[in-house]
Amino acid sequence: EAQVTQNPRYLITVTGKKLTVTCSQNMNHEYMSWYRQDPGLGLRQIYYSMNVEVTDKGDVPEGYKVSRKEKRNFPLILESPSPNQTSLYFCASSFRSYNEQFFGPGTRLTVL
Partner 1 sequence: GQQVMQIPQYQHVQEGEDFTTYCNSSTTLSNIQWYKQRPGGHPVFLIQLVKSGEVKKQKRLTFQFGEAKKNSSLHITATQTTDVGTYFCAGRPLRFGAGTRLTVKP
Which amino acid belongs to residue 20? T
Element (H or E) spanning 35, and its range? strand 31-38
Number of residues binding to partner 1, judged by CB under 8 A: 21
Element (H or E) spanning 88, and its range? strand 87-94
Do the bridges between strand 107-111 and strand 10-13 make them parallel or antiparallel, or are there none, so unpaired? parallel
Show contacts with partner 1 in window 21-50 (CB under 8 A): 33, 35, 40-45, 48
Coil, strand or helix at 97: coil
Show contacts with partner 1 in window 53-82 (CB under 8 A): 59
* Binding region for partner 1 (CB under 8 A) out of 10-18, 20-28, 68-76, 99-107: 99-107
Residues that bind partner 1 (CB under 8 A): 33, 35, 40-45, 48, 59, 90, 92, 97-98, 100-106
